[in-house]
């Protein structure tokens, strides 16, 4: 029976879709049967991030409205035979689907998969409520910025109110060099402010831009720091006890010399 | 503050400022109390306190929302004048 996990954030542009694609891919690489669902109806993007945009025939709304069977709408990944995408409709809006539809849909899928990852739209309105309706667990993505952390705090409260908590936190795009200089919130500070358990930290990584340009997951690229962080997060999701590890390779010489003495520790 | 204090005082790193601003704004968000509400609360509180302690200067009263490790709190700081006798 699958675990249904919704990836949300409140604020847009913090990396929900990238996180969904990479965690889904990493879990499938480790042998899990994974479905990703794009719940951002009208603004679909998980298909392009996963490089599957040319294979879409049917979408989530087609399934909900009975024009297609689930099996017809699920798109198989190019590389991993146990990874599937259920794309969002692009020409409809959020009201095309209800919370009950999402619960029925995920329940129908549970027996076929180990993980169902739902990419939530930004915001805290209908789209968000639909995306968490069928969830067993919620992951909140934030970046170490005041706007993203503030919105994450709102979502933490809403997830608790919907009895889907406690949510776990993924801190994305952490720049260790800035943290060491005291110019960016550290993981510990974000965790302290939000009072939510962290599942992992993803370092800022320019390779994400090029892997996303190509429609490939960063987890396939062994030189991607973000990719390695996502693999660790996937393993923690899978129940492995992997400490949130220190990431020193990325820092420059000065940070390495002085960061250990005066700076905060970097982890992924 | 002397010239030397200025010279050697390091500007606080922006992460620390971000943290303090966030802690304040999150308490306001959670309590759903706008800064205007808080100002009104302070005005009413000042009137009430002065009824019992007329010597209190309303301008000295500070009312703030704080986020601490284990709890959020509303804090009112009311300085009292020492009696001059």
Confidence (pLDDT) at B28: 85
Task: Give the pLDDT score at A39.
Answer: 97
The answer on pLDDT for B8 being more than 70 is no
ipTM score over 0.85, yes or no? no
CB A170 within 8 A of CB A233: yes
Domain boundaries, chain A: 3-262
The H or E element containing residue B16 is: helix B14-31
pLDDT score of A247: 57
Tell me: the pLDDT tens digits for A109-157?
A: 999 999 999 999 999 999 999 999 999 999 999 999 999 999 999 999 9
Residues A177 and A175: their CA atoms lie apart, in Å, by 6
Q: What is the DSSP string of B17-40?
A: HHHHHHHHHHHHHHHT--HHHHHH
Reference A61, options A83, A44, A82, A84; nearest CA is A44
Contact between A151 and A161 (Cβ < 8 Å)? no
pLDDT at B65 over 60: yes
| Residue contact A182–B18, C-beta within 8 A | no
pLDDT the model gives residue B6: 55
CB contact under 8 A, A150 and B14: no
pLDDT of residue B11: 67
pLDDT for A230 beyond 50? yes
Q: Write down the residue that tokens 């991993």 correspond to.
A: A80
pLDDT of residue A268: 59
Q: Which residue has the higher pLDDT, B16 or B70?
A: B16
In this prediction, residue A259 has a pLDDT band, given cuts at 50, 70 and 90, of: very low
At the second CATH level, the architecture of A3-262 is: 3-Layer(aba) Sandwich (3.40)
The DSSP call for residue A55 is: G
Tell me what percent of the residues of chain A surpass a pLDDT of 70: 91
Q: Contacts of residue B29 in chain A, CB cutoff 8 Å?
A: 150, 153-154
Residue B51 is part of which domain span? 3-77
Residues of A at the B interface (Cβ-Cβ below 8 Å)?
Answer: 145-146, 149-150, 153-154, 157, 178-179, 181-186, 189, 193
Put simply, the answer to whether B25 touches A150 (Cβ < 8 Å) is yes
| Nearest of A226, A224, A167 to residue A198 by alpha carbon | A167
Q: DSSP for A120-133, please give it.
A: PPSSSSHHHHHHHH
Query: Can you tell me the mean pLDDT for A241-254?
Result: 62
Q: What is the pLDDT of residue A11?
A: 96
Tell me, yes or no, whether B85 lies in a domain: no
Residues of A in contact with B16 (CB under 8 A): 182
Residue A35 pLDDT > 70: yes
Select the more confidently predicted residue: A83 or A244: A83
- pLDDT reading at B4 higher than 60: no
- Mean pLDDT of the residues in chain A: 92
**Is the model more confident about A266 or about B42?**
B42
The answer as to whether B30 is a domain residue is yes
The per-residue pLDDT for A82 is 97
Handedness of CA A235, A237, A238, A240 (dihedral sign): positive
Q: Using a pLDDT cut of 90, give the percent of chain A over it.
A: 88
Count of domains for chain B: 1
CA separation for the pair B85, A256 (Å, rounded): 63
Sorting pLDDT into bands at 50, 70 and 90, what band is A261? very low
B66 touches chain A (CB under 8 A): no
pLDDT band of B29, cuts 50, 70, 90 = confident
């Amino acid at each position: 029976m699958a675990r249904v996990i919704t990836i949300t954030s409140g604020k847009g542009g913090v990396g929900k879709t990238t996180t969904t694609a990479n965690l889904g891919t990493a879990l499938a690489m480790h042998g899990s049967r994974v479905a990703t669902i794009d719940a951002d109806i009208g603004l679909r993007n998980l298909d392009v991030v996963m490089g599957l945009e040319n294979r879409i025939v049917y979408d989530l709304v087609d399934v909900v409205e009975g024009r297609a069977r689930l099996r017809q709408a699920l798109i198989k990944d190019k590389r991993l035979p146990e990874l599937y995408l259920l794309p969002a409709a692009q020409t409809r809006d959020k009201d095309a689907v209800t919370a009950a539809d999402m619960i029925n849909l995920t329940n129908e899928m549970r027996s076929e998969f180990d993980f169902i990852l739902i990419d939530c739209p930004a915001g805290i309105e209908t789209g968000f409520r639909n995306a968490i309706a069928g969830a067993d667990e919620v992951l909140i993505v934030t970046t170490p910025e005041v706007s993203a952390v503030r919105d994450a705090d709102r979502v933490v409260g809403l997830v608790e109110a919907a009895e889907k908590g406690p949510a776990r936190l993924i801190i994305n795009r952490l720049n260790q060099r800035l943290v060491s200089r005291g110019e960016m919130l550290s993981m510990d500070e974000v965790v302290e402010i939000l009072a939510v358990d962290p599942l992992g930290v993803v370092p800022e990584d320019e390779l994400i831009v090029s892997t996303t340009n190509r429609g490939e997951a960063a987890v396939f690229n062994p030189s991607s720091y973000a990719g390695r962080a996502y693999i660790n997060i996937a393993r923690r999701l899978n129940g492995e006890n992997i400490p949130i590890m220190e990431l020193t390779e990325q820092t420059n010489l000065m940070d390495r010399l002085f960061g250990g003495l005066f700076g905060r520790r970097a982890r992924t | 503050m002397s010239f030397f204090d200025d010279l050697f005082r390091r500007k606080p790193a922006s992460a620390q400022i971000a943290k303090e601003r966030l802690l304040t704004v999150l308490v306001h968000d959670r309590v759903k109390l706008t800064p205007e509400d808080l100002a009104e609360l302070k005005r009413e509180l000042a009137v009430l306190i002065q009824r019992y302690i007329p010597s209190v200067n309303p301008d000295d009263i500070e009312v703030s929302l704080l986020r601490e490790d284990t709890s959020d709190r509303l804090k009112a700081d009311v300085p009292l004048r020492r009696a001059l006798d």
